[in-house]
């Protein structure tokens, strides 16, 4: 076993609390944290400590960015071969395959602060959806962005005119509240909120179940009303988008800002031990042991965090996690039914497809010229159903939507089964959980806030802030 001690030179100022300024570092020093570098550890001019962040999903990347902008050296350890965690894109035969259907809502407040939208080259979806119900498609549209489409949809069977007015009043209700208020408001399951607001069973079954059920991977809409209100507000204020280079462009942008040498891929952490000190010992699967003087931020997904924390936090969550399957098909661009960047929802209450869209209609960069990329999402993992069977069922169902001849020409490209897509966020929830486990040990991830890109980014910043506060290093 190799033991690598990071900046463990005897500290001339043992209490960081007494001299905060002494711990402000040059960002370049982050690079020196790599365990493969040979550090002149006894040189007194070297920075004395650093932070270890475990997990380079959005939460870990946000924590690392926050530390970096406060000139705190850190090392970011990631088990897999790339950054992003659940936000990854594979390139297959010239197609960009996001690992599951994911969208960036531009109004996410933390994302707006942290990300450079312009360089993500965001491509917009149509603000509404086309719903398959009773053998036909019906449009629902945002009246502020597509007034005439919305007016025409007033009499369609997706909901009554009253339902459509209620959507307007829900919009006013959520816009009147701050995000803080929304995330800490009294909560009920989303389904209970919708019924209380007076929405009819028709619009709940035909629109809310496939739309919000698809966002939460929860067709029963048991997810907290806090999350519903938060997402509804963001949808009202922003656009649904895809980065032109794939959803992984988001974490890649955050990673590109980090100092070179501060990120180690293929570095799985197997344990974190405090050993009664405030400087946890981090053991890697390859046998390396790292020590950090300022503390450790565990930024892994909830099930992995439970293992690493080994009983140091409260009871293990028992609610079922949220799962999804995403199937990709290819077609010739002239062999798809529409060219619009619109999301299709299954409002029929039958079948296994929840939603689908033609990714190349939203961002043509998602496929080679002349080729269309079809993305189909199911909710659940479909254990016991083979990939071939799933492909067969999906194709059969979509033949009923778009016609047999057209769909028969689509070719299956890849299937992603995502067992852990999101933590369960049914009431009771605490969407502002304290990131501090104890002095020197912090957690972040979407399970501490809202299970969204934004929640993960917020949680990373908060964990870093909490660490800086404990060490009396006020964030700049």
Contact 182, 429 (CB under 8 A): no
Residue holding tokens 């069922």?
A: 393
| Shortest distance, position 463 Cβ to ligand FAD, whole Å | 11
| Shortest distance, position 202 Cβ to ligand FAD, whole Å | 26
Please identify, using beta-carbon distances, which residue of 47 and 55 lies nearer to ligand FAD. 55
Please identify, using beta-carbon distances, which residue of 72 and 284 lies nearer to ligand FAD. 284
Site for ligand FAD in 66-95 (CB under 6 A): 77-80, 85-87
331: which 2 tokens? 């077609």
| Shortest distance, position 122 Cβ to ligand FAD, whole Å | 13
Q: Is 52 exposed, middle or buried (0-12, 13-18, 19+ CB in 10 A)?
A: buried
Does 300 sit near ligand FAD (CB under 6 A)?
Answer: yes
| Shortest distance, position 84 Cβ to ligand FAD, whole Å | 6
| Shortest distance, position 127 Cβ to ligand FAD, whole Å | 15
| Shortest distance, position 150 Cβ to ligand FAD, whole Å | 23
Say how far residue 241 (Cα) sits from the centre of its chain. Answer: 14
Distance (Å, whole) CA 318 – CA 401: 38
Does 100 sit near ligand FAD (CB under 6 A)?
Answer: yes
Distance (Å, whole) CA 230 – CA 238: 12
Does 59 sit near ligand FAD (CB under 6 A)?
Answer: yes
| Shortest distance, position 204 Cβ to ligand FAD, whole Å | 21
Contact 368, 406 (CB under 8 A): no
Does 378 sit near ligand FAD (CB under 6 A)?
Answer: no
| Shortest distance, position 456 Cβ to ligand FAD, whole Å | 3
- Kindly state the number of chain residues that form the binding site for ligand FAD, as judged by CB under 6 A: 34
DSSP 8-state symbol, 67: H
| Shortest distance, position 97 Cβ to ligand FAD, whole Å | 12
Stretch that binds ligand FAD, among 56-64, 166-174, 328-336, 395-403 (CB under 6 A): 56-64
Please identify, using beta-carbon distances, which residue of 36 and 42 lies nearer to ligand FAD. 36
DSSP state string for 2-34: -EEESS-SPPSS--GGG-GGGG---GGGGGGG-
| Shortest distance, position 160 Cβ to ligand FAD, whole Å | 29
Own/partner pairs, 359-364, CB within 8 angstroms, 24+ separation: 359/96, 359/242, 360/333, 361/336, 362/123, 362/124, 362/125, 362/242, 363/96, 363/123, 363/242, 363/243, 363/244
| Helix extents (H) in 323-417 | 359-362, 387-402, 404-408
CB within 8 Å of 164: residues ≥ 6 apart: 150, 153, 154
Site for ligand FAD in 413-472 (CB under 6 A): 418, 421-422, 445-446, 451-453, 456
Does 269 sit near ligand FAD (CB under 6 A)?
Answer: yes
Q: Spell out a b/e string for 201-232, using b for 16 or more CB atoms within 10 Å of the CB, else e.
A: eebbbbbbbbbbbbbbbbeebbbbbbbbbbbb
Among positions 57, 143, 347, 367, the unique one binding ligand FAD when judged by CB under 6 A: 57
| Shortest distance, position 302 Cβ to ligand FAD, whole Å | 8
Nearest to 374 by CA among 416, 336, 421: 336
Does 54 sit near ligand FAD (CB under 6 A)?
Answer: yes
Q: Spell out a b/e string for 307-340, using b for 16 or more CB atoms within 10 Å of the CB, else e.
A: ebbeeeeeeeeeeebbbbbbbbbbbebeebbeee
Please identify, using beta-carbon distances, which residue of 334 and 383 lies nearer to ligand FAD. 383
* Residue 94 φ/ψ, nearest 5 degrees: 85, 0
Site for ligand FAD in 311-340 (CB under 6 A): 324
Among positions 51, 52, 53, 58, the unique one binding ligand FAD when judged by CB under 6 A: 58
Site string for ligand FAD, 14-53 (x = CB under 6 A): ----------------------------------------
Please identify, using beta-carbon distances, which residue of 109 and 400 lies nearer to ligand FAD. 109
Nearest to 200 by CA among 152, 162, 143, 155: 162
Say how far residue 434 (Cα) sits from the centre of its chain. Answer: 19
Query: Could you check whether the bond before residue 78 is cis, i.e. omega within 30 degrees of 0?
Result: no
Among positions 6, 56, 242, 441, the unique one binding ligand FAD when judged by CB under 6 A: 56
Please identify, using beta-carbon distances, which residue of 232 and 453 lies nearer to ligand FAD. 453
Please identify, using beta-carbon distances, which residue of 170 and 248 lies nearer to ligand FAD. 248
Strand partners, 129: 140, 343
Contact 237, 107 (CB under 8 A): yes
| Shortest distance, position 452 Cβ to ligand FAD, whole Å | 3
Please identify, using beta-carbon distances, which residue of 85 and 213 lies nearer to ligand FAD. 85
Please identify, using beta-carbon distances, which residue of 67 and 300 lies nearer to ligand FAD. 300
Please identify, using beta-carbon distances, which residue of 63 and 72 lies nearer to ligand FAD. 63
Q: Which residues are near ligand FAD by CB under 6 A?
A: 54-60, 77-80, 85-87, 100-103, 268-269, 299-301, 304, 324, 418, 421-422, 445-446, 451-453, 456
């Amino acid at each position: 076993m190799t033991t690598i001690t990071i900046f463990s030179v005897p500290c001339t100022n043992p209490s960081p609390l007494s001299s905060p300024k002494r711990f402000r570092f040059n960002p370049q020093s982050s690079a020196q944290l790599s365990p493969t570098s040979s550090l002149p550890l006894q040189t007194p001019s070297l920075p004395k400590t650093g932070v270890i962040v475990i997990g380079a999903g959005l939460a870990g990347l946000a924590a690392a960015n926050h530390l970096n902008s406060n000139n705190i050296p850190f090392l970011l350890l990631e088990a897999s071969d790339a950054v992003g965690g659940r936000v990854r894109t594979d390139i297959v035969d010239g197609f960009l395959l996001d690992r599951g259907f994911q969208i960036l809502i531009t109004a996410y407040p933390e994302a707006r602060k942290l990300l450079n939208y312009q360089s993500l080259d965001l491509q917009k979806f149509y603000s509404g959806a086309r719903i398959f119900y009773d053998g036909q498609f019906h449009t629902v549209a945002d009246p502020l962005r597509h007034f005439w489409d919305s007016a025409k949809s007033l009499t369609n069977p997706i909901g009554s005119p009253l339902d459509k007015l209620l959507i307007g009043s829900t919009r006013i209700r959520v816009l009147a509240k701050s995000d803080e208020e929304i995330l800490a408001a009294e909560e009920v399951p989303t389904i209970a909120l919708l019924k209380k607001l007076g929405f009819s069973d028709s619009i709940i079954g035909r629109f809310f179940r496939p739309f919000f059920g698809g966002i939460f991977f929860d067709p029963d809409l048991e997810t907290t009303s806090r999350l519903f209100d938060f997402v509804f507000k963001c949808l009202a204020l922003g656009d649904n988008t895809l980065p032109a280079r794939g959803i992984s462009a988001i974490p890649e942008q955050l990673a590109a800002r980090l100092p070179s040498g501060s990120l180690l891929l293929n570095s799985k952490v197997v344990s974190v031990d405090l050993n009664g000190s405030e400087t946890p010992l981090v053991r890697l699967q390859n046998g390396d042991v790292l020590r950090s003087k300022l503390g450790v931020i565990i930024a892994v997904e909830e099930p992995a965090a439970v293992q690493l924390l080994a009983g140091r936090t409260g009871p293990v969550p028992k609610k079922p996690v949220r799962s999804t399957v995403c199937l990709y098909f290819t077609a010739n661009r002239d062999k798809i039914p529409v060219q619009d960047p619109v999301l299709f929802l299954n409002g029929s209450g039958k079948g296994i497809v929840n939603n689908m869209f033609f990714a190349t209609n939203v961002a043509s960069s998602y496929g080679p010229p002349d080729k269309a990329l079809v993305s189909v999402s199911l909710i659940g993992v479909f254990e016991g159903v083979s990939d071939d069977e799933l492909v067969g069922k999906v194709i059969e169902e979509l033949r009923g939507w778009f016609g047999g001849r057209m769909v028969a020409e689509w070719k299956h490209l890849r299937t992603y089964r995502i067992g852990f897509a999101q933590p369960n966020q049914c009431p009771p929830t605490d969407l502002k959980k304290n990131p501090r486990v104890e002095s020197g040990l912090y957690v972040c991830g979407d399970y501490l806030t809202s299970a969204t890109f934004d929640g993960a980014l917020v949680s990373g910043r908060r964990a870093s802030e909490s660490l800086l506060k404990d060490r009396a290093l006020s964030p700049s």
